[in-house]
Amino acid sequence: MPSRKPAQKDSTSLRKTTPARRSPCPVSCALDLFGDRWTLLVIRDLVFGKTRFKEFTSSPEGIPTNILSDRLERLREGGIIEQVPATEGGKRMAYALTEKGMSLRPILKMLRDWGLQWEDGTRVSLE
């Protein structure tokens, strides 16, 4: 029989089901989507023009690859990113922000400005 992927996810995968919304509060719902230590850093990288798995892992914070996989999947489910062909006609995929994802840019910008103002020793990357 031909090699096939498991229908969905088995016991070894991170996060089995989509977790329920904690409340109808818009802040709470936003945090349900990207309220953790890594997700907004991936979105930051996307805003910076990164599109490939390897590029995300090479950011200075060093996100573990299993966490990255999980967050990319979660962001895709949440409609914040989508997969597009990395090269014309190629089969490898790259990631891109959707319109919904793009709309997070002002929030990222405010976070950056806040950090620069209140946290000593922070600076924007020079890439």
Partner DNA sequence: TAAATTCACTTGCGAAATGCAATCAATAAG
Partner DNA sequence: CTTATTGATTGCATTTCGCAAGTGAATTTA
Q: Where are the beta strands (DSSP E) in the chain?
A: 81-85, 93-97
Residue 95, phi then psi, degrees to nearest 5? -110, 145
Residue 84, phi then psi, degrees to nearest 5? -130, 155
CB of 80 to a copy of itself, least distance (A): 9
Residue 90 binds DNA (CB under 7 A): yes
Closest CB to DNA among residues 86, 108: 86
Residues 23-62 as x/- pattern, contact with DNA by CB under 7 A? -------------xxx-------------xxxx------x
Q: Are 28 and 54 in contact (CB under 8 A)?
A: no
CB of 82 to DNA, least distance (A): 12
SS3 121: coil
Closest CA to 33 of 112, 104, 111: 104
Closest CB to DNA among residues 79, 85: 85
* Contacts to DNA by CB under 7 A: 3, 6, 10, 12-16, 19, 36-38, 52-55, 62-67, 69-70, 72, 86-87, 90-94
